[in-house]
Chain A
């Protein structure tokens, strides 16, 4: 029989506000096994933990139930407190009477009644708890960073600087990500490439960093400290060990009609290409869909002219399997598709562009060599209209419900740069709200309005209509003057919402990392663990977790790196002891459990068994505790009921059911 102590927390007024804590204490005193029960304002405080320790000693308790907040919050705290007081840390059960009770019920009567039932369920479970000993697992001293944008580069640099090996996997032919496509950055207006390329070079030159570009993560198995990852290194058809990066092949390639991904399809590139001049590695790839050699079998010019003999049409995809202790996800973002926003005439007119396209137009390496031109006729636009929140803060289901966060600032930047370089150009910005929280952000926006006389109009644009003369008629509303506006524009720029890069879905599934309804990766705790995924050993860096600007991305990338370093610095990890166990007297070795186990943790052994005096050899299941993650799939699959999960045993869950239905 257990000797149970029950500790009911007030959590200030968080619990005590809608749960009569004293009544809970009195109600559970008579529960089986309960020796001691008391309440305290803050159980998680030092004093609260001491009170638990004292009660454990005084009443010789064998287990404790803490009625408090969610176990996801303080289970670890109370387990540690119990262990310090000399009882097994798994002889602790939490009744969640805050998140699941006091916070959602207003009526004290109702709240108290439910709290008592939840406490009873926890006591019933604890009565069947057994002491468990966590095992140990190794930590592979190497990290994987998925995504080679500024977030991935920063995380990789920070981890590598701490002395650990890092591999960056980037799906495009070069690292650099979205930041490499930007022209200038707010609020300082420094050139994006000028601050990014030194980081790219540093990452490439770092002895601890290994970069796999044009590669994708294909398979992930294992767990925190010991992940096994298959990386598909796609065939570049250029041998990177031989290529000197002279660029002659790109010059001579006769197939030059492929849309340039880097320039957002605004101009074309050759079939053998590096995405941009500062690409790292400076080794081209052949795009087989546009290459004449691959399409027709004729051509082969690049191979003929390559002095280094680097072009190899026979190259195959390569699968690299490596082990990692920690994984940082930095998959970044893309702009949303605009096919649901016909009213802005994006598909009808070349002069309606997204902000990211405008970045390319304004960039010296872009399709117009940095001259602000209309893409339809090459003329300089005299009137430019910016439309904010295209697909952001959208309640009609066409776009995203969230604020993309960066658009207000980059639009102020664009407007300011245009007014600075082309003072004759009129710039109008239609906005819902201008949001500029951030260091020097509001000052920046005010400069656009006050010094550069950008015309900000509060209101939305209803329609953009291409006119026969090539101009664009913009119909909108001015909410402050409460009037309809019709104006002619030569160019319309859409502040298109950003969304997580589509590749993140697949990666999240492989990593079993949770994802929210907008495909952003979920953090472990919105405030206190913002860079950790709930899946241990997986860390989040950059926009894959939520919209962010560059400074925030870099800060979060550093934070994710620190968390990864903290993990890699450990020599051993303690494993979860809540693993499956087979009862060898019941098991008949049917293999059903091994078939459902996602970790391959179950194997079979022939053992000598003495069953009621009959000695025989039997095939039975054996669970590898280091591999078992404790999901419990096998426990339900087992036809003879031989499999059970420690910490969540059949009897324990049934006891909880009974206590609730009593």
Chain B
């Protein structure tokens, strides 16, 4: 095995309670494997994900952050994922500016019935992150001694 394959990325997945978290549950009960590197945080809606949370994850050493919500039009709260989508678009361009590769962040819409999609998405995302390797940690240089 090459060294690259032994790299264990830290990946944070924000999943909305109504669609994606349920989709992840379905992936689980259908035994659709994806790497253990993905750790899921449950939020009520994708619109609850503050861009600050994603920045914090990168600050704390995450190698990738993925946010999953209901498909556009299917949000449990009607409009939440639309806000999330716009916020993430802005955040991603900022992350790009900060020098974090675009592929380290991702937004996916996964419904409660899409266990297969959830598992596939996670497999793909982890594969992408593994290829990118360890992330350069976001940090405030002023805090360095």
Contacts and interface: CB of A to CB of B under 8 A. Distances in A.
Interface of A: 70-73, 96, 98-101, 103-107, 110-111, 113-114, 117-118, 121, 508-509, 512, 514-517, 522, 534-535, 578, 596, 598, 629-633, 635-637, 645, 648, 650, 653-654, 656-658, 660-662
Given A70-B25, A72-B21, A512-B76, A631 B111 contact: no
21 contacts: A73-B25, A99-B27, A101-B28, A103-B29, A103-B31, A104-B28, A512-B76, A512-B77, A514-B18, A514-B70, A514-B113, A516-B111, A534-B22, A596-B79, A598-B78, A632-B48, A648-B48, A650-B52, A657-B12, A660-B62, A661-B60
B78 A512 contact: yes
B113 A517 contact: yes
Contacts of B44: 578, 630-632, 645, 648
Given A101-B36, A632-B43, A637-B83, 16 more contacts: A72-B21, A103-B31, A117-B39, A514-B18, A514-B113, A516-B114, A578-B44, A596-B79, A596-B83, A598-B80, A636-B87, A650-B52, A657-B56, A658-B56, A660-B41, A661-B60
Q: Interface SS of chain A: helix, strand, loop or mixed?
A: helix
A598 B79 contact: yes
Interface string B91-111: 000000000000000000001
Contacts of B73: 509
Contacts of B56: 654, 657-658
A591 to B, nearest CB: 16
B74 to A, nearest CB: 6
A534 B20 CA distance: 13
Contacts of A114: 36, 39
A514 B74 contact: yes
A99 B112 CA distance: 13
B75 interface: yes
Contact of A660 (B10, B33, B78): B10
A70 B48 contact: no
Interface of B: 10, 12, 18-19, 21-22, 24-25, 27-29, 31-34, 36, 39-45, 47-53, 56-57, 60-62, 70, 73-80, 83, 87, 111-114, 119
B47 A632 contact: yes
Nearest to A114: B36
Contacts of B83: 596, 633, 636-637
A631 B77 contact: yes
B25 A514 contact: no
B111 A658 contact: no
A636 B36 contact: no
A99 B39 contact: no
A522 B113 CA distance: 7
A71 B40 CA distance: 13
Given A512-B75, A517-B113, A632-B48, A653 B41 contact: yes
Contact of A657 (B47, B60, B114): B60
A508 B113 CA distance: 15
A630 B19 CA distance: 15
Contacts of A71: 42
A72 B20 CA distance: 12
Nearest to B50: A636
A598 B111 contact: no
A522 B48 contact: no
A70 B15 CA distance: 13
Contacts of B50: 635-636, 650, 653
A517 B29 contact: no
Given A70-B25, A650-B50, A96 B40 contact: yes
A633 B25 contact: no
Nearest to A93: B42
Contacts of A113: 36
B53 A657 contact: yes
Nearest to A599: B77
Nearest to B60: A661
A98 to B, nearest CB: 7
Given A512-B76, A631-B77, A632-B43, A105 B57 contact: no
A657 B79 CA distance: 25
